Each structure stands twice: as structure tokens, then as C-alpha cells.
Amino acid sequence: MHADRINEKHNGYILFYTAQDINNKDAYAKLIYSGMHSVNNFFGASYNKEFNVFVHPNRNSLDSAWQKDWNMPAFKSECWMVAGGISNKMDMISPKTRDKEACEHH
């Protein structure tokens, strides 16, 4: 499916990342867990399905994923767009490269 990605199964989700983020994967897992916990508390219910989290090494990778997801081959994200989700998937630009890949989100 994503040959260049390393994946790790966690409780409730699968984390996909590239080799450049191998040293950051534990920090990302903590952030995802914290976010899931906040959502569970807000809604008073847990997630009912596993989902995928993709950490993209750069904006081109993020744009490519969104072009496919949204069936918009010419789509180019705005500089402030750093993450988004659909159905059973969340995409985000790697926080490791976010400062050079994004505006307004540091």
C-alpha cells in the first residue's frame, strides 16, 4: 500500500511514517493518544473503529494524498494547511519539517 512507509499498530490506530521520522515516532504516538483521550472525554465515548495516521515528510507528499482522497488531481494545499482527516484516516506534515513547510503554524 505505502512501500516507503514504516507502520506501527497501536491501540485504536496504525501510525505510518517515513525513515526521517523514526526518532520522532514515540512523540507522535503520545500526541495521538492525547488527542484521542481529549475527544473521548468530550464526547463521552471511545472510537468505534481503528484509523490510520500518516505523517508526511513534506507538503508534496501531503498534497499527493489529498489529491487522491478528494479526487482532485490538481489540488495544491495552502501554506497554513498542515493536517486533515477523512473517514478512517488522518494526514499531517511531519512536525520535524513543519517550520519550513508551513506558514502560521510553528
Query: In whole angstroms, what is the distance from residue 91 CA to residue 66 CA?
Result: 8
96 in any annotated domain: yes
Q: What is the CATH number of the domain that holds 46?
A: 3.30.2010
20 in any annotated domain: yes
pLDDT digits (tens, 9 = 90+) for 4-33: 899 999 999 999 999 999 999 999 999 999
Number of domains in the chain: 1
pLDDT digits (tens, 9 = 90+) for 30-67: 999 999 999 999 999 988 899 999 999 999 999 999 99
Query: In whole angstroms, what is the distance from residue 59 CA to residue 92 CA?
Result: 9
106 in any annotated domain: no
1 in any annotated domain: no
Predicted local confidence at residue 24, as pLDDT: 93
Range of the domain at 21: 6-101
pLDDT of 1 over the 60 cut:
no
How would residue 98 be classed by pLDDT, with cut points 50, 70 and 90? Answer: confident
55 in any annotated domain: yes
